[in-house]
Chains A and B, each alone.
Chain A
Amino acid sequence: MWKIGDRLGGYEPGQFKQRFRMLFIIVSVALSLLVMRLWYLQVIKGDELRQRSENNSVRLRKIKPMRGLIMDEDRRVLVDNQPSFDIVFIPNRTKDIRKVIEKIKALYTERSLKFPALTSPSDRVKPFVPVLLERNISMEKLAVVETHALELPGVVTEVTPVRQYLNGEMTAQIIGFTGEVSREDLDRNIALHLAPGDMIGKFGIEKFLDDHLRGKNGAEQVEVNVAGKEVRSLGRIPAESGDNVVLTINSAIQEAAWTAIGNRAGAVAVLDPRSGAVLALVSSPSFDPNLFNGGISFDDWESLSNDPRHPMENRSISGQYPPGSTYKVVVAAAALEEGLITPETSFYCNGAFKMGDRTFRCWQEKGHGNVNLHRAIVESCDVYFYNLGKMLGVDRIAAYARAFGLGAPLGIDLNREKGGLIPTKQWKLSRLRQSWQMGETISIAIGQGYNLVTPIQLANVYAALANGGTLYRPRLIKQLESSDGHVVKVFQPEKQGVLPVRPENIKIINQALWGVVNEKGGTGYILKRQEQDVCGKTGTSQVIGLPQDEKARKAKRVSADFRDHALFVCFAPYGNPEIVVAVILEHAGHGGAAAAPVARKVIETYFTLKKMTPTQQQAQSAAEIRGIPKP
């Protein structure tokens, strides 16, 4: 023991010098021991332990998680998982992946089967990480690989879940698809703990909610003997299934819109004006998301991405079109609010409007005669709105348009949403370096010129009018549920703003929209129902400016690519609107004739569904589509 010495006489700094030396020795010895042990493990036995960690004895098997299901509003399953057989190579005994691939190719060619082209398989091959060779193989290929197992060392067939898109093209634009994680994604999102071979959402809801849908990889460490046979499991972390997603989409309405639009190019957006819930979102032409299941083939990808009709574009949120006459409600609201007109203010329409040396025509070449605001909307008189445009000026119109939610993305739950374009003087100056021409304002007032809106924006404008002035964020996601049925998150309506329009003015506009459908001479008269409950507005948007002379105008209507886009937006029922439908058909001609029938199908489907008793609905859904029970 150490001496206590002369401590009683008072404390002397440095009196612990002896203890210090002693402790120094103890600490040095102890820590040297650790370093020596570290040396032993890492340097002397390093190679052996490294082998053990990576090579023969211990192998890692990834346990794939079950991706979450996607359901519609009524919990009908839109996307589920089905088993897929994959060929996997484990660089265990043989490390030359190329030889193995050559062998499989040779076996395939004997039976005239094709092996998909791999980009560069030799990269990223680690001794213990399985490499996916081919996904979702046919039974024939499976048989080939299984019967030649002995000639293919390290090749294993595995069963993994693969996405099945039950509605195919109909919901492809909303739901999207998954694909193998790309190298860029791997490098960019290192924090997402993704590994090569993992499937991630690439498009649509699959992409937007990928974090929730994907789930977590599990893993199992198995000990294998020299022959590569599994001896026992050393540890297992189970995979965690992803969350299920319930959308606001109603399959029946979606189907009605999809069928009505047929093979024409265009989009339909259906909203519940009371909450901003998106009931349907159709974009045509579409694509089959199931093509992506086994990794899309090169040919399929080429034809999809080079299709001049752009089937991969979700027109309902990223197609930008001139709003045409559907824009007139915004201009009317602006003029009323600014006190420039009263509902009784009338203008005379003789079919043309002169502005300097330019003549702007009304679509009704004979002219509408003397019209007030109500009739101007009902008959969609262009001259009336040329007058309003001249009075308001482009910037005041733009201010109102922005307050209606135009000119910027609405923030729907999908990627790639476009914002459209609401031009101002400043915009033209900075973007095109030209000053604004008064004549351009005249075109703007009837929704032509630089104006661009997306179908979902258009639906949202009318939803706000329908509900008395509230702008909601359009929502696609109703709720998230864990795989065992617990509700993880319920999404509530989100108010984004209030229209700067007084209730009495909204009422005036809505009455006119009612007239469009229900009054004689209304441009949407075709949609009139017995209940007289639909309000709407037609629109015809010019793809190129109307030629000045009559002959050219006639010729233009012949060529399909230069024909006008047909638009129709409506809501119903009049007193207490529950549904808003916006339809845009590309190059389809006049809105009332081409687009309104599509809207009519949607509205009728909605009210037929509503009239059905709950049991009838259930019976129908049970018969039609597989469903999973409520938790």
Chain B
Amino acid sequence: MQNQNEKDPIIENLWHALGALKEIDAGQVNKTQLLGQPLCYGKDANDVAFVWPASERHKTHTPVNFEALNRCLPVQVRYGYVWTCLGTPSEEIFDIPEYVEPDRRNLNAASMGVHVSAPRAIENFLDMGHFPYVHTDILGVEPHTEVKDYDVTVSADACEILATRCLFYQPMASQASAGGADVEYVYRVPHPYCSILYKSSPLDAARQDVICIFIQPLDQEHIRAHMLLSVLDVDNPDISIRAFQQTIFGQDKPILENQFPKRLPLDPRVETPIRADKSAITYRRWLRQKGITYGVIPAAA
């Protein structure tokens, strides 16, 4: 059970993704963890998903009779993933309207474990400054290191952060790129542990590729990062679209795991930001105002 000291009612009442529905073998037990609590999940032959508290009786990859489970947690399937909530769901899962566009390729790039807190992972996802150094020759290259000024706003209902007009020179913005280009990014943060990135499509100047990161907090300092791709790409097979994103994430992993402290400090005096960190500053302030305590070091009162 979750340690009482670690309870964060806001986070507990939100939906969190546990895994891609397609990757679950029907009729079997899968084990994972959410907010420190061991869970089992699975799906039946009709793709109906189930999530329930782990018990000794249920062993990984053994058959399970879902009808015989006595207590299941709330469950939804959205964007190809199984989502659950440990408390009472306080809001709907955010909308990604592009997901249902008929010509989009939707796939899970990977679900990967990282030794870091969920907010650190989101903050890294929002950062463009590291592109030339960590994703050299792909998402950035020297001397094109400048993060040009961009706009960050919080929606009127305080539900979502939006960063727009983010421009960056990228040698190879996606698997479908033919060469270097100035790429425009838009970031949404509609959930403390989820972010959605829109970037110019190399194939259609009027539309954008969508890359989402849904962070499943295993505990305060360990996560599973689920990466949804919803892209316009008619040529490349799933495997190379996936491989591109896994390469990017594999490069981020050691950076994330070497962050110290692992939890995100919310006290504005703790880390010194620069202008390029505008979205990170907004994100930290937004978490602080929401009263998030899980995966962060709260500001002194």
Say whether A associates with B: no
* A interface residues (Cβ-Cβ under 8 A, vs B): none
